[in-house]
Amino acid sequence: MSKKEIILTGDRPTGKLHLGHYVGSLANRVLLQNSHHQFVMIADVQALTDNFEDPQKIHDSVFEVMCDYLAVGIDPCVTTIFLQSMIPAIPELTMYYMNLVTVARLTRNPTVKAEIKQKHMEESLPVGFFVYPINQAADITAFKATLVPVGNDQLPMIEQTNEIVRSFNRIYKKEVLVEAKALVPKVGRLSGIDGQAKMSKSLNNGIFLSDSADELARKVKSMYTDPNHLRVEDPGNVEGNPVFEYLDAFGTDLEKIAELKAHYQRGGLGDMAVKKYALDVLEAFLAPIRTRRKLYEQDRAQVMGMLMEGTQKAKGVAAETLKEVKEVMHLNY
């Protein structure tokens, strides 16, 4: 892929980031930032759609997420990190795009349907949450992103964005907006330490990038394994076993991991022995991140200054897109 490819990605600031975020998106951002034009958005407005009663949580989380970004190696000198609420072009584009999407189409969006059910919003659905696919389309098109890293569950959002792009360009007879392609990571998600299908802050089953060595040890020791592996000599299952999933994601000694899997499957290898190795692997990965993060935590002004600098740059880019949009809509008074 060429340097001309533009990436738009981001996170909702609802707390510190965990290993699932790293596997699903952060690792890709670090890898791609030197070969692409990358914009990373801290989506505080989107976070308010289902946290509107706790704005302080969102406010405080912005700094935490920035520290996580910097600690894992996202470089603000080559990646534009910005705050969604400070880009006035985004809500204005959202308003214009609302005229291009029917209520019926939004209702059919499988991602929205699933999240409404997950968050038990069936009887009290805020309009802001219902229309967030349109807001997400504004996020993406404001920067004319050509690549958007997402998990499989978010593919309908990219589809909806591209429908808006095609409708807008057709109606206003000019190719102003750009369609985006989804970039799905090889490992899209990481199971929770409790064996749940997804690591999640709301389920309290995650290992956070900021966890201390003691916290990490406690969580690894409590990790779910094969429930039928009752005795050391029993054969155990590797599939669906979070300990081996984490080793696959973060281990570097592939030969050692393959040996552990074979031993575990034939029997004679206890869960605690595997967890001990997993702890060593995860501590080796997290220790330098934890050290860098502590340095950033001590200088809030510097961290927020980096965010404001990126936000000013992003504001200018989005304003140019909005100007083009308003011109073809004859709103350039």
**pLDDT band, very low/low/confident/very high, at 80 (cuts 50, 70, 90):** very high
- The rounded distance, in Å, linking the Cα atoms of 293 and 66 is 10
Cα–Cα–Cα angle for 39, 283, 307, rounded to 5 degrees = 25
CATH class of 213-294: mainly alpha
Q: What percent of the chain has pLDDT over 90?
A: 74
CA distances from 253 to 31, 110, 249, 257, 280 (A): 20, 39, 11, 6, 12
pLDDT at position 188 is 61
Q: Where in the chain is the domain with CATH 3.40.50.620?
A: 6-190+300-328
Q: Decide if pLDDT at 252 tops 90.
A: yes
Q: Three-class SS string for 88-151?
A: CHHHHHHHHHHHHCCHHHHHHCHHHHHHHHHCCCCCCCCHHHHCHHHHHHHHHHHCCCCEEECC
- Return the number of other C-beta atoms located less than 10 Å from residue 212's C-beta: 11
> Tokens at residue 268, please?
């004679």
Q: Decide if pLDDT at 71 tops 50.
A: yes
Q: Decide if pLDDT at 29 tops 80.
A: yes
CA distances from 315 to 133, 176, 258, 310 (A): 21, 18, 48, 9
Q: Decide if pLDDT at 330 tops 50.
A: yes
> Tokens at residue 109, please?
């969006």
Q: Where in the chain is the domain with CATH 1.10.240.10?
A: 213-294
**CATH T-level topology, domain 6-190+300-328:** Rossmann fold (3.40.50)
Q: Decide if pLDDT at 2 tops 50.
A: no
Question: What are φ and ψ of residue 240, in 5° steps?
Answer: 75, 10
pLDDT at position 1 is 40
Higher pLDDT, 119 or 10: 10
